[in-house]
Amino acid sequence: MSILKGKVAVVTGGARDIGRAISVGLAKEGAKVVVNYHSSEAGAKETVHEIKSFGGEAIAVQADVSNLEDIQHLKAKAIEAFGDKIDILVNNAGGLFARKTLQELDEPFYDLVMNVNFKATVFVMQAFEPLMGKGASIINLSSQAARDGGGGGSSLYASSKGAVTTFTRAMAKELGPKGIRVNAVCPGLIATKFHDDFTKDEIRAMVAEKTPLKREGKAEEVADLVAYLASDNSSFVNGANFDINGGLAFS
């Protein structure tokens, strides 16, 4: 039985890596999916094609979710495609962009990291919350870095994800009385292009060896957790930040 049948989901940054796995995973459970992307147009089209290949429904919408006008464009396209009721919102858009020490940081880089990782989460939630009602679910993507400070040169990334973690708890209190649940997922080392680009092979191997399960995670494993949090199976779960890191770090 499809646990999300008839529901409408919006996934920011839904075109590649964890976002793509989430988009496909929600669709496999029956949700109609709005796949947001910024620059990954080809990936978004591939994601939508994959969803349609097994009979799912999806559209791709380009929007820079750190820009408030673009967020309104995303909202309008979602309503145009699937109506004015949103059941699931996944704030996945984010990035590390570069590893920089304290002395290498500058204001434009600060603005980039904080805007994409935190500002976007805040204002996407603000835009879509009026379309969400009792039983709806918001899932934010935080990170293990929010708790342990991240690897070398990721101070702003870790801090922005720490803000997401705290905002998740605050919104769980504010939106809970409306029947809207807000939770976050905090991945550790997941085998994605993110780490292909920003983490050295020897560091990845070391972290995997230190992990009790002795491996990196898979994007699909994160997607499975998101699907659970999006469903009524987690109807009393609210304000939680779920670790998914193979046992490397505990709450």
Taking the CA atoms of 204, 95, 97 and 143 in sequence, report the sign of the dihedral they define. Answer: negative
Assess if residue 172 is contained within a domain: yes
Catalytic residue positions, numbered:
157
Q: How many domains does the chain have?
A: 1
Angle, CA of 165, 104 and 159, to the nearest 5°: 5
Assess if residue 202 is contained within a domain: no
Q: What is the pLDDT of residue 199?
A: 76
Q: What is the pLDDT of residue 8?
A: 98
Assess if residue 23 is contained within a domain: yes
Residue-wise pLDDT for 85-111, tens only, equals 999 999 999 999 999 999 999 999 999
Q: Is 201 helix (H, G, I), strand (E, B) or coil?
A: helix
Residue-wise pLDDT for 46-89, tens only, equals 999 999 999 999 999 999 999 999 999 999 999 999 999 999 99
Point out which residues pair with 91 in neighbouring strands.
140
Assess if residue 229 is contained within a domain: yes
Residue-wise pLDDT for 218-243, tens only, equals 999 999 999 999 999 999 999 999 99
Whether residue 2 is predicted with pLDDT greater than 80 in this model: the reply is yes
Question: Rounded distance, CA 107 to CA 109, Å?
Answer: 5
Whether residue 193 is predicted with pLDDT greater than 80 in this model: the reply is no
Contact 17, 39 (CB under 8 A): no
Whether residue 204 is predicted with pLDDT greater than 90 in this model: the reply is no
Q: What is the pLDDT of residue 251?
A: 59
Whether residue 196 is predicted with pLDDT greater than 80 in this model: the reply is no
Assess if residue 243 is contained within a domain: no
Domain of 137, in residue numbers: 8-188+219-235
Q: Average pLDDT for residues 121-141, to the nearest whole number? A: 98
Q: Tokens representing 151?
A: 């690897």
Whether residue 195 is predicted with pLDDT greater than 90 in this model: the reply is no
Q: Tokens representing 127?
A: 């835009």
Query: Which of 133-137, 147-151, 195-199 has the lowest average pLDDT?
Result: 195-199
CATH number at residue 161: 3.40.50.720
Q: Average pLDDT for residues 146-168, to the nearest whole number? A: 96
DSSP for residue 132: -
The label of the residue with tokens 């499809």 reads 2
Q: What is the pLDDT of residue 249?
A: 82
Q: Tokens representing 247?
A: 């046992």
Q: What is the pTM of this model?
A: 0.95
Share of the chain above pLDDT 70, in %: 99
Whether residue 18 is predicted with pLDDT greater than 90 in this model: the reply is yes
Assess if residue 126 is contained within a domain: yes
- What's the CA dihedral at 116, 176, 225, 165 to 10 degrees? 40
Length of the chain in terms of residues written:
251
Contact 140, 183 (CB under 8 A): yes
Assess if residue 62 is contained within a domain: yes
Whether residue 34 is predicted with pLDDT greater than 80 in this model: the reply is yes
Assess if residue 249 is contained within a domain: no
Percent of the chain as helix, strand, coil, to the nearest 5: 50, 15, 35
Round the average pLDDT of the chain to a whole number and report it. 95
Q: Average pLDDT for residues 133-139, to the nearest whole number? A: 98
